[in-house]
Amino acid sequence: MKKIKNKEELEKLRGRLKKEREKYEILISVCAETGCIASGSLNIYKKLEKEIKKIKNRKIKLLKTGCHGFSEFDPAIVIYPEKIFYVKLKEEDIEEIVEKTIKNGEIIERLLYKDENGKCISYLNEIPFYKKQNRLVTRLNGLIDPENIEDYILFEGYSALIKVLNEIEPDEVIEIIKKSGLRGRGGGGFPTGRKWELCKKAEGTPKYIICNADEGDPGAFMDRSVIEGNPHSVIEGMIIGAYAIGSNEGYVYIRHEYPLALERLKIALKQAREYGFLGENILNSGFSFDIDIVRGGGAFVCGESTALMASIEGKVGEPRAKYIHTVERGLYDKPTCLNNVETWANVPLIINNGWEWYSKIGTENSKGTKIFSLVGKVKNTGLVEVDMGITLKEIIFDIGGGIKNNKKFKGVQTGGPSGGIIPEKFLNLPVDFDRLNEVGSMMGSGGMIVMDENTCMVDVARYFLNFLKEESCGKCVPCREGIYHMLSILNRITEGKGEIQDIEKLKEIADVMKKSCLCALGTTAPNPVLTTLNYFEDEYIAHIKDKKCLSGVCVSLVKYYIVPEFCNGCHACYKVCPIGAIEGDVKKVHKIKQDICIKCGSCYEVCKFNAIKRD
Amino acid sequence: MEKIDIVINGKKLEVEKRKTILEIAKETGIFIPTLCHHPSIEPYGVCRLCTVEIERNGRKRFVTSCNYPVEDEIEIKTDNEEVLKIRRMILQFLIAKVGYTGKIKEFAEMYKVEPVFGIGNDDCILCGLCVNVCKELIGVNAISFSSRGINRKVSSPFEKEPFDCIGCGACSFVCPTGAIKIIDKGNFREITKINAKLELEKCKICGKPFIPKKLIQYMKNKIGLKEEIDTLYLCDDCKKNVYLDRINLLTLIGGKK
C-alpha cells in the first residue's frame, strides 16, 4: 500500500471501498471479541465461511467484528441489510441459516431473540436492549473488521485527522475539545480539553501522549471492547491529541490480560503506519508521531496514571504524589497527556461532527455518551453505550431488562471496586460524573454491577476490600494498613464476631483514608464500606447484634435445617448435597448433619416443598 | 528566587516558591512529625504522618508537607483537630505493625495515642529510607520492595543474596527502627533483612577483616582510581598508626633541616 498523502487520495480510496462494499448483497457480521470468542463465535465464523463458499450466485461478505454488546446472547450474528439478529447460535444452526435466511430471505424464529413475553424480535434495532442506547463510540462495532484499516476508512475513518492537519491549528483543536465538554472517561472526569491545554503550555520537551488501556476493574470490559472492535478510533484520537499538544511520541499501556486487544492494536498500528497516518511526516503535513505499545504486568494499581508512567519507565508500578501534575512532569519527568481509551475514541467523533453537536448530548456538566459494562444479576448483561444523564433505572430495567429470575433489585455498584453501592431509592438518579459522586459512588471507568435481594451488603463490602487488599501497592501507610484493618473488621462481622463499636471504627478509618492516602486507589477504597454503611446499616446491625445474615450469604451466620412436617422424603436434597451432610431414606424425613454442613445452600435451592429453612 | 505569600498556622509569611511546606515549617520553628523523611533523600511521602491541611481558592485539602511545594496564597494548618485525627490513626496503624519502636513511641506519647488495633512486633515500617538511600545516594539499587499491599516488604532480588550490594551499610544507618543490622563475623559481613553476605578484606598489617571487598572496589571505581593505594587496605587503627608514623617521619626530617 502506498502511503496516503492528502485528502483527495483518502477520498479516492474511500470511494473505491464504498463501491466494493456495495457489490455485496448480504453482509454477515460475526461478533468476535474475547467474550464472544469464548462462547464459540469463531467456530460459527468458520462454519459460515465454509457454507457461504458454496453459494455461487450471490455476493456475500462475512465480517469478523467487534462486540455487538449483547454479551448475554453470544455467540450472535447480524445479517445486513435487514439487520436480522440471531442469538446463542450453535454450529449446527449455520446450515439452516444459510439455507433459509441467506438463500431465501426466510427468518428462523427459533434463533431470534425473545423478549420478556416470549415475543420474537427479528431485527437488531427493535431489541429493547438497543433502543435506549446511543451507540457513538461503539457505532462501528459490528460493522467493521477491526483488523482491516480499510473498513475503518470506509466509515469516515481518519477524516478527522486529515481535517485537523489541513484546516485546524493545534490551539483551535484544543479549543474545540474544550467547548465540546468532553471529560476524561477513565474515572476522574477531568475536562479533556483543559488537560491538553495545560500539557501544551507546560515547559519541556519531548511531550508524551499516553493511552491508558489498563482496565482493571472486575467486571469491566468497555475499553477492551473499544480496542477489539475499533482500534483505529483510539489511534486517530491519539494522533489528533498529539498534533494539538505538540507531541511526537505516544504509548498505549495495555493490560496484560488482554491478548486479543493487544494483537488487534498491533495490527492497527502497523496498518496505520503503512497508510501514512503514523510515522514521519504524516499526510505530508510535516507533523510526525508514532505510538509504542507497553504491556502491563498485571497490577491493578498501574491503571493509576503515575504508577502507569513508572511502569512504562521500567520502574516498580507505584503511584507518586501528583502535587506537580503529570501534564507538567509525567513520563520521564516530561509533560505528559494521559487519557483513557474511551476518551481518545471520542475525539475523532467530535472533530467530525463538531463540538456543537457533541455538547448537545448529555447533561450540563457531563457531555456525550458513556459506555458501561452492565453485569451482575441483570437479565441482559453486556456493553451499553448511553447518553450521560440517563437514569440508573433506564439502564438496569429498560436496557438491562431488570433483575434475573424476577428477584428484587437491591443495589448497583458503579465505578469499579472502589465505587459505591447505590440503593433502590436512587434508581431515578441521572447518571453523570457529579450526580454519582453526590451519592457516594463514582463514574469510574464505567463498570456497573447489579445486585439482587440475595446479596449481603456486608459481604459485598468485604469482597471489594479483599480485592483492594491484594491490589493496593502498599506504599503508603493509610491505604496499606487501613484496608487491612477495615477488612479484618468486616471479616469479623461476617463471622458473627462483630461488635457495635466496629461501625464507628470503620467510619473513622474510612475518613482518614479518604483524606490522607497517596493516590486515588486509597482515597476511594472506603467507598464500598461507606455506602453500604450509609444505605444498608440495618444489615450491619443484624450481623452484629442478631448474628444474622438475612441474605443467607455469610456462612458463619446461617443455619439450614429441615422442617419434618414438610419433608416428604423426595431425596432431592440428599442427591444434591456435595458433602453428604444430609441423611435419610427415600420417603422418610431427612435430616441435615449440622456438624459437617458447609452451608452452600444447594439443598435450600432444590427443595420444592419448602421443607428446608434457612435461619 | 521568586517569593510568594503564604499563611501558616495564622502567621503571614513571605517564602521562597518551590520550597516544601515541611522546609518552611522547620525554618519557622513549627514542628511537623515525620518518619519517612530524610533531608538528604528525595521526599517519598509514604508515612503520611506529616499530613497538613491546606486551603487555596476556598478549597480545603490534606497534603503531605514533605513533598508539597508551597503556592501563592495558600493557607496551611499544621495541627488542627482533623490533622491530628489523621496522625493519631496513622500512629495506631504503625503501633499495630511494629509496636512502640523508636520515634513511634515518642510521637504516640506526644499525641496521646492508644493502641486501638493491637501492638505488633514486626520491625519494619516500610518507610523506604533504606531502599531510597541505596538508590539515590549510594547509586547501587541493591534492594527494593517486593509484593503488594499488606505483604509489601523490603527485599533483595528474589530474596537471594543481593548481587549488587557493596555492603556499605547505609541502609542500616538510615533505618529509623533498627530493622536492618550489620553483623561482622569472621571473614564476612552480614546485613540482616536484605540477605547480604559479603567477604571482608583483611587489613594488610594486622590481618583483621574490616571492610567488604566489594566496597573497596566500588570506591575505587567511583573515584576513578587506576593505581592501588596501600592505605585503602588498612583497618582504621592501622591506618591511624601509619599516618602517625608518616607525620612523625616528616617532623623528624623537618627537624634535621
State pLDDT tens for residues B220-253: 988 888 888 888 889 999 999 988 988 888 887 7
| Interchain proximity B45–A518, CB inside 8 Å | yes
Rg (CA), chain B: 24
Residue A219 has what pLDDT? 83
> Which chain A residues are within 8 Å of B18, Cβ to Cβ?
none
Write out residues 231-250 of B within 8 Å (CB-CB) of A. Answer: none
B128 neighbourhood in chain A, CB within 8 Å: 475
- A485/B96 CB distance under 8 A: yes
Kindly list the residues from chain A whose CB atom is less than 8 angstroms away from the CB atom of residue B94: 477, 481
Mean pLDDT of chain A, nearest integer: 92
Order the strands of the B3-8 sheet from edge to edge.
B11-16, B3-8, B74-77, B51-56, B59-64
> Which B residues 146-185 touch A at CB under 8 Å?
147-152
Question: Spelled out in words, what is the top-level CATH class assigned to the domain A157-359?
Answer: alpha beta
Q: Read off the pLDDT band of A305 (50, 70, 90).
A: very high
* SS3 of B140-191: CCCCEEECCHHHCEEECHHHCCCCCCCCCCHHHHHCCCCCCCEEEECCEEEE
Read off the C-alpha cell for A125: 434495532
Question: How far is Cα B88 from Cα B112, in angstroms, rounded to an integer?
Answer: 8
CB contact under 8 A, A485 and B64: no
Parallel, antiparallel or unpaired: strands B144-146 and B153-155: antiparallel
A561 vs B: CB within 8 A? no
Give the gap in angstroms from C-alpha B114 to the nearest C-alpha of chain A: 14
Residue pLDDT, tens place only, A533-561: 999 999 999 999 999 998 888 988 888 99
B97 touches chain A (CB under 8 A): yes
Q: pLDDT tens digit string along A13-22?
A: 999 999 998 8
Cβ-contact B239, B247 below 8 angstroms: no
Grid coordinates of A581: 451432610
| Inter-chain residue contact B45 with A485, CB threshold 8 Å | no
Q: What is the pLDDT of residue B255?
A: 56
Interface test with A, best of B32, B89, B154 (most A CBs within 10 A): B89
Architecture of domain A559-614: 2-Layer Sandwich (3.30)
On the question of pLDDT at A94 being above 60, the answer is yes
Cα B97 from Cα B126, distance rounded (Å): 10
d(CA A363, CA A323): 30
Backbone angles phi, psi at A585, to 5 degrees: -90, 160
Chains A and B form CB pairs within 8 A to the count of 98
Q: What is the mean pLDDT of residues A584-594?
A: 91
- Rounded mean pLDDT, B12-39: 94
Residue B181 has pLDDT above 90, yes or no: yes
Longest dimension (CA), chain B: 80
Location of C-alpha cell 436434597: A573
Domain ranges for chain A: 20-126, 157-359, 369-452, 457-544, 559-614
Domains identified in chain B and CATH numbers? 3-79 (3.10.20.740), 129-244 (no CATH)
Q: What are the backbone angles phi and psi of residue A393, rounded to the nearest 5°?
A: -60, -45
**pLDDT-based confidence at residue A507 (cuts at 50, 70, 90):** very high
Please give the full DSSP string across B92-118, using - where no structure is assigned: HHHHHHH-S-HHHHHHHHHTT---SS-
Min Cα distance B224 → chain A (Å) is: 29
Q: How confident is residue B254, by pLDDT bands cut at 50, 70 and 90?
A: low
| Mean pLDDT to the nearest integer, A577-605 | 91
The residue count for chain B: 257
Beta-carbon separation of B144 and A316 below 8 A = yes
What CA–CA distance (Å, rounded) separates B190 from B196?
6
Rounded to 10 deg, the angle between the A501-516 and A537-544 helix axes is 130
Cβ atoms within 10 Å of A388's Cβ, excluding its own: 23
- The residue of A203, A508, A515, A517 whose CB has the most chain B CBs within 10 angstroms, and thus the best one to mutate to test that interface, is A515
Does B90 reach chain A within 8 Å, measured CB to CB? Answer: yes
Q: From B85, which residue of chain A is nearest by alpha-carbon distance?
A: A512
Q: In the prediction, which pLDDT does A217 show?
A: 87
Q: What's the pLDDT score for residue B257?
A: 44
The stretch A321-350 carries a mean pLDDT of 95
Considering the entire predicted model, what is its pTM?
0.90
Mean pLDDT of A324-353: 95
DSSP code, position A403: B
Chain B residues with beta carbon closer than 8 angstroms to that of A323: 63, 67-69
Q: Which residues of A touch B51 (CB under 8 A)?
A: 515-516
Q: For B45, which of A321, A484, A509 is closest by C-beta distance? A: A321
- A301, A475, A505 ranked by CB distance to B46: nearest: A475
Taking the CA of residue B184 and the nearest CA in chain A, the distance in Å comes to 31
Mode of pairing for the β-strands spanning A382-387 and A369-376: antiparallel
Where b means 16+ CB within 10 Å and e means fewer, A82-102 reads ebbbbbebeeebbeebbeebb
Phi, psi (deg, nearest 5) at residue A58: -125, 145
Give pLDDT tens digits for B198-227. Answer: 999 999 999 999 999 999 999 998 888 888
Question: Which of A8-17, A120-129, A528-537, A582-591 comes out lowest in average pLDDT?
Answer: A120-129
Nearest to B48 among A473, A508, A516 (CB): A516
Q: Examine residue A478 and say whether the peptide bond preceding it is cis (omega within 30 degrees of 0).
A: no
- Rounded mean pLDDT of A369-389? 93
pLDDT at B75 (0 to 100): 95
Which is more confidently placed, A512 or A35? A512
Q: CB–CB of A40/A30 below 8 Å?
A: no
**A147 shares contact with chain B (CB less than 8 Å):** no
Q: Tell me the average pLDDT across A265-289.
A: 95
Class of domain A20-126: alpha beta
Interface test with A, best of B51, B62, B150, B154 (most A CBs within 10 A): B150
User: Which pLDDT does position A2 carry in this prediction?
Assistant: 79
> Would you state the CATH architecture of domain A457-544?
Up-down Bundle (1.20)
Q: What is the 8-class DSSP label of residue A239?
A: H
pLDDT band at A376 (very low <50, low <70, confident <90, very high): very high
Q: Is the pLDDT of residue A150 over 90?
A: yes
Q: What CATH number should be reported for the domain whose range is A369-452?
A: 3.10.20.600
- Across the interface, whether the CB atoms of B149 and A482 are under 8 A apart is answered no
| Residue A104 predicted with pLDDT over 90 | no
B51 touches chain A (CB under 8 A): yes
pLDDT tens digits along B61-102: 999 999 999 988 899 999 999 999 999 999 999 999 999 988
Q: What is the pLDDT confidence band of residue A566, given thresholds at 50, 70 and 90?
A: very high
C-beta atoms of A516 and B51 within 8 A: yes
pLDDT for residue A155: 92
Report pLDDT digits (tens) over A434-471.
999 999 888 888 889 999 999 999 999 999 999 999 99
The complex's ipTM? 0.91
Test B48 with A505 for CB contact under 8 angstroms: no
pLDDT tens figures, A355-373: 999 999 999 999 999 999 9
The model's confidence at residue A124, banded by pLDDT at 50, 70 and 90, is: confident
Task: Quote the percentage of chain A above a pLDDT of 90.
Answer: 70
